[in-house]
Structure 1
Amino acid sequence: MNNAGYGLFGAAEEFTAAQIDAIVATNLSGSIPLIRAVLPYIREAGRGRVVQLSSYGGQVAFPGNSMYYATKWGLGGFCESAAQEVAPFGIGVTIVEPGGVRTEFRYGSVQTADPLAEYEGNPAHACRAMLDPAQRPGPRRPRPHGDADHRERRPGPRTPAHGPRLQALTSTIDTLERHLADFRTQDTLAASTDFPQGE
């Protein structure tokens, strides 16, 4: 199980090069070598499962989190591809994509970009309200993901750990349905970019 990662809030224009390099190095470049390092051992064993903690931000995107989402989307692509490569060896790969839970993610590890005045009142700064200690929910241990789910069914490559009010699941489904609806209106445009038949 791999859970390396932290959040970075701010508008894309507000991040420094160092902040970008650091979050990529932790959330993406840090997770990939760890997964690669364990594969030879579980491949030799002939069975096993890699569980990569991610976020529903690997499926959806909201303003103010562009670099965090960039790492989670990249990690999801890596894991989905690797899952197909190692399946013949009896190895599974599951990406757990939780919504908000009561951990130190928001109130301990998260970092913020220095705000630009031009973004005052912009949706990119809305996420900063979550960092207000007055908004912090009371302590409660998150329910361990999969207590029941993984006993009842074989986990797929992506598993939402719902968060409050099924936040991760409903947001992900809504986003994917919007994407599908959009793609289904573009068949003529997509066909127009293809080579004429016979060429």
Structure 2
Amino acid sequence: MMRTWLFTGISSGFGNEMTKQILAKGDRVIGTVRNTKKVKELIEKYPDTFDCQILDVTDVAAVHGTVSDAFDKYGRIDVVVSNAGYGLFGCAEELLDVEVDHIIATNLTGSIQLIRSALPYMRLQGGGRIIQISSYGGQVAYPANSMYHATKFGIEGFCEAVVQEVAQFNIGVTIVEPGGARTEFRYGSAKVANLMPEYESCHGFLNMLDASKGLAPGDPAKMAQRIIESVDKNPAPLRMVLGSQALKATIERLEERVADYKTQKELAAFTDSRINV
């Protein structure tokens, strides 16, 4: 049975790779881009199953309109993939206000509004699947990446709450946490702040962004394949970590966090109210 998918950010990265694989297997994709140049081949190759739409996810009214138009046009959308986003590198003091505002509007607010827009339609159609592309950076934080982590930690908290709200309507939500991958996210679209010499010790990320220093281990085609396959799993997996280094770092950080919390039992109990009856 043909599925209909709605994607944001399909001009590059996981969105582009997933779109290619989904179209090749005969499903329909409504994919959003900010310009159509990078997807011209797909438009020509799949005129009947690829519906390319122009969208900047920082425009909230446009997000609502795009989702509404898509459901009106096709009647049912089976999978909504919130993928649009980018990385912003730089220590907190190095960032401009406009850079802070823009990454929040793109990675966090844009994702929230896309999901909120789709929920009433999915509820009325009796179910569906939402896939939020996050990062293992939604669980693990590194210096000079504070705003990216803020958006990913934020969208993961949002999705964890939403999944509990909408399970009763047969709507599944999956948070995808990829590790480093050989995509334009790292080698093309990443933004770097105006760096300060005072924070030079935190600028190791520059090597990571330089392909000549070695490519990331993650294969985007394999990652895309696993994300697509997750739609057939029932119940929907809440999280998918892609990449062995990402999984190792995530487990280590969570274990550190739990160990720290366990040292605070006395402190936590001290602040409880004791009511004499």
Q: What is the TM-score of this pair, normalised by structure 1?
A: 0.90
1:65-124, Cα deviation, whole Å (9 max, x unpaired): 10000000000011110111111001011110100111101111100111111112x1x2
Change (3 A) 1:75 1:38: same
2:178 to 89, 93, 98: 98
Aligned length: 194
Measured after TM superposition, the shift of residue 154 of structure 1 is 3.6
Measured after TM superposition, the shift of residue 155 of structure 1 is 3.4
**Counterpart in the other structure of 2:159:** 79
Q: Root-mean-square deviation (CA), in Å? A: 2.0
**Counterpart in the other structure of 1:189:** 267
2:257 to 162, 176, 179: 179
2:193 to 106, 113, 131: 113
**Counterpart in the other structure of 2:209:** 131
Any conservation in 1 of the 2:174–2:236 contact (CA below 8 Å)?
yes
Letter in 1 for 2:150: A
Letter in 1 for 2:160: E
Measured after TM superposition, the shift of residue 197 of structure 1 is 3.6
The CA distance in 1 between the partners of 2:151 and 2:276, in whole Å, is: 41
Q: Give runs of aligned pairs for residues 1-199 of structure 1, distance below 5 A.
A: 1-120=81-200, 122=201, 124-137=202-215, 141-143=220-222, 144=224, 145-146=226-227, 151=232, 154-162=235-243, 166-198=244-276
Change (3 A) 1:152 1:87: closer
SS in structure 2 at match of 1:109: coil
* Structure 2 segments unaligned to the other structure (5+ residues): 1-80
Identify, as 1 or 2, the structure richer in strand.
2
The CA distance in 2 between the partners of 1:184 and 1:127, in whole Å, is: 32
The CA distance in 2 between the partners of 1:87 and 1:196, in whole Å, is: 37
Any conservation in 1 of the 2:176–2:227 contact (CA below 8 Å)?
no
Bigger relative contact order (CA 8 A; separation at least 6):
1
The CA distance in 1 between the partners of 2:236 and 2:194, in whole Å, is: 40
Q: Percent identity?
A: 52
* Structure 1 segments unaligned to the other structure (5+ residues): none
Measured after TM superposition, the shift of residue 179 of structure 1 is 0.8
Q: What is the TM-score of this pair, normalised by structure 2?
A: 0.66
Change (3 A) 1:28 1:149: closer
